[in-house]
Structure 1
Amino acid sequence: MTHIAIIGGGPTAIYTLKGLTRARKAVSITLFEREPWAGPGMPYRDGTNDPAMLANIASREVPRVTRTLAKYLHACDDGFLRRLGLTRDVIDEDSFYPRVVLGSFFTAELAEVVARLRGLGHTVTIRTKARVTDIVPARDGVRIEWQSTQRPEKARFHHVVIATGHDWADYDEEGEDESALLSPWPAERLKALSGEVGILGSSLTAIDVAVTVASAHGAFEGEDGDTTTYAVRGSDDPFRLTMMSRKGLLPEADWYYPLPLPDLAHFTPAAVEDLVATDRSGLLDRAFALLVEDLRDLDPDYAASVDLSSPEALSKSHFAPRMSSDLWEYARANLVEAEEGRRTRRAVPWRVALLTAHEVFEDLIPHFDEADLERFHNSLKPIFTDGYASVPHPSIRRLLALHDAGRLELVRIGSALDVSETGGKTVIGSEGEMLRFDAVVDARGQRPMRLTDLGFRSLSRSVRPGWEKGGYSLTIEGLEKGTVQCLAMPVLLRRRPFIQGLVNAAEMGETAAEAILAELPAPPMPRPGLTSMKPGLRLAR
């Protein structure tokens, strides 16, 4: 029997299991999860996240496992929905839910997929509280070593999928006292923060930190209506929040877009293949020229309002109006526009074009040389991230309510930071200014990691360099039978900057399963089609 190991028990692992249901020959699957229970993954785990934290992915965008998120919620009884903080009338395809709701969904779907696999004759073992300590490749397979609650253990497998998901270091716990930055998780610790609280970042993770801290000191009111307000519980409570970001901008409110997204006329996957096949030099500029043609065709007004002479010029001109505006008034106007767009189901052409383009770029980025890769990260990536990382409307309303109550500000800090501790305060220095806080939470998002950072020493020594420019399969010295695939999102981020999110978790899981199925003696069953969804990475950062 073929033995398969999946390291990690969150959404990526679940979508991999879903793909393995197409195996025609019985296999043995072992899933390793270091937490007490498998299913939700860190971004959606109850306890790690506060119920006030919203996922920035609408129900219709969550890839189905055995059913859609909406169908799962409709199947829940009213009592369970109340425990999730929901009522039945809010369940629809356009709703945004607390992160813990998605955690409940994936936990239930893991049970459904496992039951389906077992019903098909496969063996599935879920090992919780099992921390994998090493992956040791050999000529005829791979040895997994792990620490269980009782003792160190090991076993040999034919195929290994690394699906460890987010890895968010806590600087204090690592002993880096000079940093003095707190992790945004677990949420329970945030509730103890008071006084002057700094938050590095302004995306959804930073918003979640602000909302969680604020909820510990007061309450949001009127969230069921058109106006959200915030009131602190004690009039003498001095707590204040300061969000700090590179550009000093808030994310935009989630806007309407059609599904499936329409193809572009010029910047297409086929065009990208031709670019790569003909000449790999100057790929970024040649790809950008195709995107410019689409922007001019689809939205002449937008094209005329920005500088399309280069990726760098577009980036500067794209953000210029927001950076010259009052950020809070811009946020109010943007929210009104986004709400109207959703009400009328009217899409803005340039937004749709850029959203589609970022997905096409995903296939091109691995072929960039280092110069083009650096240019892309500094120019087009911020534009694309700004589009796909738009946030739920309630999140924007909460920020506005906190600002109107005098409890929240956002400042621009640039990219060069100096972090220190002085007199019991955490000091953030940037561009000649010094900001002092009682505590600072680093909510800037998942940072890229190297394969060596995962801690699997034997694997790291065996992998040939350059694997990340291809697919997910690691090229391993001496491994003649079997596969090891790396779906660990932090390791993929540098070459695949849009890899975060449930859409990509589903696609990675299906791809990993297909690679394994191709190695099995019997051909797999046909792959079921994925439901259409917004591409990109709408996970918390």
Structure 2
Amino acid sequence: MQRIAIIGTGPTGLYTLAALIDGQQSLAITLYEAGDQAGVGMPYDEHANHRAMLANIASIEIPPLTCTYLEWLREQSAGFLAGYGVAKETLHDRQFLPRVLLGHYFRAQFLALVTKATERNHRVTVFEGCRVTDLQAGDNALRLWTNRHAEPAHFDRVVIATGHVWPSTAEGGPGYFPSPWSGLIGTAIPAGAVGVLGTSLSGIDAAMAVAVQHGCFQEQSDAPDSTLRFELNGDSADLCITLMSRSGLLPEADFYCPIPHQPLRIATPESITREIDAGAEGLLDRVFTLMAREIRDADPRWSDGIALEEQNADTFADAYFANRAERNPFRWAQRNLLEVERNKRDRHTVPWRYALLRLHEVVEDIAPHLNEHDRERFNTGLRRVFIDNYAAVPPESIRRVLALRAAGVIDVLAMGQAYQMDIGDHGTVIKTAEGEHRFQVFIDARGQKALDLTDLPFPRLRDQLLAHSDELPPVGDNYTLMVPEIGGHRIALAALPFLMHDRPFVQGIAVCAEIGATIGGSIHRAAQRRRPWLAGYDDEH
């Protein structure tokens, strides 16, 4: 049997396992999970997330493992779902639910996959509460060390699927949290000035985790303008949460569109590939021309409204955000929410939004081919537009923000481009051109940052790679490290933070599924090459 190790059992690890056990050849698969339970995934772990935090993906978008998310939900008891604020009779495939429910789903899928693997004559070993501490490529095998085993284990292939990386403890003071997953959940937050750096879903979720310690949300069916109200506890009158970012813009609500996505007509994968093949010089501008043609073809009226014909790769972002930046963020959010809810009722797709959503998937391919100057232009321009579009948040999250605003609990701060952040023992101070803002509690919720070779948590492998370059080695189409000198093709780097340099939009469960399927298929093909007589037998029969 080929010996395969998977480090990490979040979504990427699960989809890799699913792909591996679907092959014809029996494999010996060992899964290592640092957490208490394999299959849950840190973003969905009940110990790291509050039940008020919502997942921004619905069942219709989640590739099934042994069953769809919706099918699993419908198998659960009404009482279990009610514990998470979900009514069983209201379940549907476009619903945004508490992210910890996804953790329960993935755990159940993991257990089902292990059973399925055994039935298909694979040998599966699972180590929970077991952290892999080192990895080394040898001539004949890969050696893997853990905190629970005295001797290294030997494998033919290893999949690094360690997922997101967050600071484990707060640094800088008792009221500072370097991420929402660094001790915030379970910590009593005083009713005072709370700053949240980041206005994306992570920032909103951090605000919700604080808010529900000091009040509760109540449905108001008789209210003419809003169906949600936040009731603040009597002893929490001093609570003031400030969401902040450079622009001070709130994200928009997730919008209705056809799934699976319809193909693009102009900026197709083939046309993007042709531009890449034409060379790095002028690549960004050539691709923007294709983008603009695609958007205009989809929505001429919106294109005229932002003078698309006059825009370029550097000005498009400002034109895109201009109307929103001039409005009060909460009024804009209210209007956007009403529009989104109306469109979902009517099953109406806003053409320019849908065009941008599909465009980010093909435009991402140019990232590793841009020269340094154009990469900077891309990061400060088009990248912001695409992230704003695909990172739209659940409408319920916007409803909650508006309810907090109506209760006088939340505000938004535009920090501008030149701001300073001073973290001290007695709080955090944000200095902007408009003045100083002091916070008793401060949460950095800017999300996952791209990681480089120095962040690799395996010292021996890191040293082997540093012997050839001080940068992360290229990753092949099958996600294996392209370092022939150490047999790097045997190691698949499937941890999203390490892929973000060349894939700036790599995120989400659908991407995890694509990565897992690619790695699994690659391992099966390699196994077949090792047994040509078996491949011949299959061809003949």
Normalised by the length of structure 1, the TM-score is: 0.92
Kindly tell me: are residues 375 and 443 of structure 1, through their superposed partners in 2, closer, same or farther at Cα, counting changes over 3 Å? same
Alignment partner, residue 204 of structure 1: 201
What's the C-alpha RMSD, in Å, of the aligned pairs?
Answer: 2.2
- State which of 519, 526, 532 in structure 2 corresponds to 1:519: 526
Alignment partner, residue 64 of structure 1: 64
User: How many Å separate the matches in 1 of 2:169 and 2:77?
Assistant: 41
For the pair 1:218 / 2:215, whether they are aligned, the reply is yes
Q: Deviations over 1:198-254 (max 9, x none)?
A: 000011111111111111100111177851111111156311101111210000011
Alignment partner, residue 270 of structure 1: 270
State the secondary structure of the residue aligned to 1:136.
Answer: strand
Q: Deviations over 1:493-512 (max 9, x none)?
A: 12211111101011111111
User: How many Å separate the matches in 2 of 1:376 and 1:171?
Assistant: 33
- Asked if structure 1 preserves the Cα contact closer than 8 Å seen for 2:174 and 2:425, the reply is no
- Residue 161 of structure 2 aligns to which amino acid in structure 1? A
For the pair 1:92 / 2:98, whether they are aligned, the reply is no
**1:372 Cα deviation after fit:** 2.0
Alignment partner, residue 303 of structure 1: 303
The residue correspondences of 1:67-466 to structure 2 (distance < 5 A) are 67-148=67-148, 151-170=149-168, 172=170, 175-176=171-172, 180-185=176-181, 186-222=183-219, 226-234=226-234, 237-308=237-308, 309-421=311-423, 424-431=426-433, 433-463=435-465, 464-465=468-469
- Asked if structure 2 preserves the Cα contact closer than 8 Å seen for 1:5 and 1:31, the reply is yes
- Asked if structure 2 preserves the Cα contact closer than 8 Å seen for 1:243 and 1:409, the reply is yes
- Residue 189 of structure 2 aligns to which amino acid in structure 1? A
- State which of 501, 509, 512 in structure 2 corresponds to 1:505: 512
- Asked if structure 2 preserves the Cα contact closer than 8 Å seen for 1:117 and 1:123, the reply is yes
- Residue 363 of structure 1 aligns to which amino acid in structure 2? D
User: How many Å separate the matches in 1 of 2:198 and 2:439?
Assistant: 15
Kindly tell me: are residues 182 and 347 of structure 1, through their superposed partners in 2, closer, same or farther at Cα, counting changes over 3 Å? same
- Asked if structure 2 preserves the Cα contact closer than 8 Å seen for 1:249 and 1:327, the reply is yes
User: How many Å separate the matches in 2 of 1:405 and 1:40?
Assistant: 35
Alignment partner, residue 48 of structure 2: 48
State the secondary structure of the residue aligned to 1:205.
Answer: helix
**1:171 Cα deviation after fit:** 6.1
**1:76 Cα deviation after fit:** 1.7
**1:119 Cα deviation after fit:** 0.7
**1:457 Cα deviation after fit:** 1.6
Kindly tell me: are residues 481 and 247 of structure 1, through their superposed partners in 2, closer, same or farther at Cα, counting changes over 3 Å? closer
**1:176 Cα deviation after fit:** 4.7
Indicate the larger mover: 465-474 or 504-513. 465-474
User: How many Å separate the matches in 1 of 2:168 and 2:435?
Assistant: 26
- Residue 355 of structure 1 aligns to which amino acid in structure 2? L
- Residue 412 of structure 1 aligns to which amino acid in structure 2? A
Q: Deviations over 1:293-337 (max 9, x none)?
A: 111211111111225431221101100000001111111000000
User: How many Å separate the matches in 1 of 2:287 and 2:175?
Assistant: 40
- Asked if structure 1 preserves the Cα contact closer than 8 Å seen for 2:177 and 2:184, the reply is no
- Residue 390 of structure 1 aligns to which amino acid in structure 2? A
**1:482 Cα deviation after fit:** 5.9
Q: Deviations over 1:130-175 (max 9, x none)?
A: 1111110111221111112xx5441011111100011111563xx5
- State which of 487, 494, 498 in structure 2 corresponds to 1:491: 498
- Asked if structure 2 preserves the Cα contact closer than 8 Å seen for 1:137 and 1:476, the reply is no
User: How many Å separate the matches in 2 of 1:4 and 1:354?
Assistant: 39
% same residue: 38
Consecutive unaligned residues of structure 2, counting only runs of 5 or more, are 529-533
Kindly tell me: are residues 421 and 12 of structure 1, through their superposed partners in 2, closer, same or farther at Cα, counting changes over 3 Å? closer
**1:190 Cα deviation after fit:** 4.7
- Asked if structure 2 preserves the Cα contact closer than 8 Å seen for 1:43 and 1:99, the reply is yes
- Asked if structure 1 preserves the Cα contact closer than 8 Å seen for 2:19 and 2:516, the reply is yes
- Asked if structure 1 preserves the Cα contact closer than 8 Å seen for 2:246 and 2:416, the reply is yes
- Residue 509 of structure 1 aligns to which amino acid in structure 2? G
- Residue 510 of structure 2 aligns to which amino acid in structure 1? V
- Asked if structure 1 preserves the Cα contact closer than 8 Å seen for 2:419 and 2:430, the reply is yes
User: How many Å separate the matches in 2 of 1:97 and 1:312?
Assistant: 37
- Residue 29 of structure 2 aligns to which amino acid in structure 1? I
- Residue 210 of structure 2 aligns to which amino acid in structure 1? V
- Residue 67 of structure 1 aligns to which amino acid in structure 2? C
Kindly tell me: are residues 63 and 6 of structure 1, through their superposed partners in 2, closer, same or farther at Cα, counting changes over 3 Å? same
**1:455 Cα deviation after fit:** 1.6
Alignment partner, residue 467 of structure 1: 473
State the secondary structure of the residue aligned to 2:134.
Answer: strand
Q: How many residues align?
A: 521
- Residue 30 of structure 1 aligns to which amino acid in structure 2? T
**1:113 Cα deviation after fit:** 1.1
Kindly tell me: are residues 338 and 2 of structure 1, through their superposed partners in 2, closer, same or farther at Cα, counting changes over 3 Å? same
**1:460 Cα deviation after fit:** 1.8
User: How many Å separate the matches in 1 of 2:229 and 2:176?
Assistant: 32
- Residue 160 of structure 2 aligns to which amino acid in structure 1? I
User: How many Å separate the matches in 2 of 1:406 and 1:523?
Assistant: 68
Alignment partner, residue 535 of structure 1: none
- Asked if structure 2 preserves the Cα contact closer than 8 Å seen for 1:32 and 1:130, the reply is yes
Kindly tell me: are residues 349 and 421 of structure 1, through their superposed partners in 2, closer, same or farther at Cα, counting changes over 3 Å? closer
User: How many Å separate the matches in 2 of 1:387 and 1:229?
Assistant: 27
**1:351 Cα deviation after fit:** 0.5
**1:349 Cα deviation after fit:** 0.6
Kindly tell me: are residues 62 and 224 of structure 1, through their superposed partners in 2, closer, same or farther at Cα, counting changes over 3 Å? farther
- Asked if structure 2 preserves the Cα contact closer than 8 Å seen for 1:53 and 1:208, the reply is yes
State the secondary structure of the residue aligned to 2:274.
Answer: helix
Kindly tell me: are residues 297 and 449 of structure 1, through their superposed partners in 2, closer, same or farther at Cα, counting changes over 3 Å? same
User: How many Å separate the matches in 2 of 1:95 and 1:179?
Assistant: 35
User: How many Å separate the matches in 1 of 2:134 and 2:322?
Assistant: 48
Higher relative contact order (CA 8 A, sep 6+): 1
- Asked if structure 2 preserves the Cα contact closer than 8 Å seen for 1:171 and 1:183, the reply is no
**1:394 Cα deviation after fit:** 1.1
Q: Deviations over 1:181-206 (max 9, x none)?
A: 44212453354343110000011111
Indicate the larger mover: 184-193 or 406-415. 184-193
User: How many Å separate the matches in 2 of 1:147 and 1:423?
Assistant: 34
State the secondary structure of the residue aligned to 1:449.
Answer: coil
User: How many Å separate the matches in 2 of 1:469 and 1:117?
Assistant: 28
Kindly tell me: are residues 422 and 75 of structure 1, through their superposed partners in 2, closer, same or farther at Cα, counting changes over 3 Å? closer
Kindly tell me: are residues 180 and 218 of structure 1, through their superposed partners in 2, closer, same or farther at Cα, counting changes over 3 Å? closer
Kindly tell me: are residues 389 and 364 of structure 1, through their superposed partners in 2, closer, same or farther at Cα, counting changes over 3 Å? same
**1:178 Cα deviation after fit:** 11
- Residue 412 of structure 2 aligns to which amino acid in structure 1? L
**1:125 Cα deviation after fit:** 0.7
The residue correspondences of 1:32-47 to structure 2 (distance < 5 A) are 32-47=32-47
Kindly tell me: are residues 494 and 482 of structure 1, through their superposed partners in 2, closer, same or farther at Cα, counting changes over 3 Å? closer
